[in-house]
Amino acid sequence: MISNELRRFINKNKKPLLLAVVAAVVVCIGLGGSILNLFHNKMELKKLTRQTAQLDEEYKQLSQRLKLLKEEDPQYLEQLARTRYHMTKPGEMEFRFTAQ
């Protein structure tokens, strides 16, 4: 299956070919871990970037809520009292429904 020309070339250049193959294997082994680490670091960077964006958004929301609490915004405080603490105004009744 191997042509005669290829056989002659291989027989004539055995040492340089062997050295090239060994060098290629050494380079692959040496860089294999580095390439794997590079890929892992890139994936970790993407994950942390997404997490940073999510935390920034959460920070903005919490800062807005804190601002409303510090200003004692009556509408916000009423909504908070009704939803979190189930408070009602005089004469109102609270109805609670359970999901089925």
For the chain, domain boundaries: 4-85
pLDDT value, residue 61? 97
Q: Answer positive or negative: Cα dihedral of 66, 72, 74, 80.
A: positive
CA 100 to CA 98: how far, in whole Å?
6
CA 81 to CA 75: how far, in whole Å?
10
When pLDDT is averaged across residues 56-81 and rounded to a whole number, the result is: 93
Half-sphere exposure of 52 toward its Cβ, with a 13 Å CA cutoff? Answer: 6
Do residues 30 and 24 lie in contact, with contact meaning Cβ atoms separated by under 8 Å?
A: no
Q: pTM for this structure?
A: 0.53
Query: Which letter does DSSP use for residue 99 in this model?
Result: -
Condensed to tens digits (0 to 9), the pLDDT of residues 14-62 reads 777 778 888 888 877 777 777 778 889 999 999 999 999 999 999 999 9
